[in-house]
Amino acid sequence: MNREEDFNLVKRFVEGDERAFNEIVKKYQKRIYWHARQMLGNHLDADEVTQEVLILMYKKLKSFNFQSNLFTWIYKIVTTRSINQIRKNQIKRFFSIDDEENPLELKSNNDIIEDISNKEKIEKLNKVLEKLPAKQRQVFIMRNFDDLSYEEISQITGKSVGGLKANYFHALKKVLEYTNENE
């Protein structure tokens, strides 16, 4: 995560070294995937968003000016793309007459999580996260699983710290209510 290392990688890429981009991808791909995965709750959507993010990074990295950390910038892209994907899915679901179970089955069969115990835990977590609106889900994930401070989240999302606290409070309340109901 070292800023200087990122700076050198971006500089090399801007100067035409394509391998530098591969190195940036290798460095951040898992974090990108996981954030998308938690936001979207399944592998297929997370994969789509991850690839979109990497393509966008490839296109826009040349104009990155290091006003923020590279990962903050990447995070911003992942989080925006994930929210867009959630909205797309909601629209698809709204207009879809088909049985909803089939796509879910397809989504859960295509997964890259290898250990079953964790898979169950993550599925349980996904069920909780599904109950949250996109913006609350975003703050909840960033606070709980990425251990980001409100200030860092504010930098990424462009929201005020007060607004983020309120979002997180509502998210937490819903999560607690859900976990109590499903005991």
- 109-117: Cβ within 8 A, 24+ apart: 110/43, 110/44, 111/42, 111/43, 112/43, 113/43
Per CB under 8 A, 65 contacts other proteins = no
Q: Is 100 helix (H, G, I), strand (E, B) or coil?
A: coil
Q: How many residues bind other proteins (CB under 8 A)?
A: 40
Per CB under 8 A, 64 contacts other proteins = no
Looking at the Cβ atoms of 134 and 166, the one nearer to other proteins is 166
Per CB under 8 A, 115 contacts other proteins = yes
First-last CA distance in the chain:
39
Per CB under 8 A, 128 contacts other proteins = yes
Residues 6+ apart with CB under 8 A from 70: 3, 6, 10, 24, 28, 64
Per CB under 8 A, 54 contacts other proteins = yes
Looking at the Cβ atoms of 54 and 156, the one nearer to other proteins is 54
Per CB under 8 A, 71 contacts other proteins = no
The DSSP letter of residue 65 is -
The Cα–Cα gap between 171 and 124 comes to 16
Tokens describing residue 128: 């909780």
- Region 10-49 residues binding other proteins, contact defined as CB under 8 A: 22, 25-26, 29-31, 33-34, 38, 47
Stretch touching other proteins by CB under 8 A, among 89-97, 99-107, 152-160, 161-169 = 161-169
Radius of gyration of the chain (CA): 18
Looking at the Cβ atoms of 93 and 119, the one nearer to other proteins is 119
Per CB under 8 A, 60 contacts other proteins = no
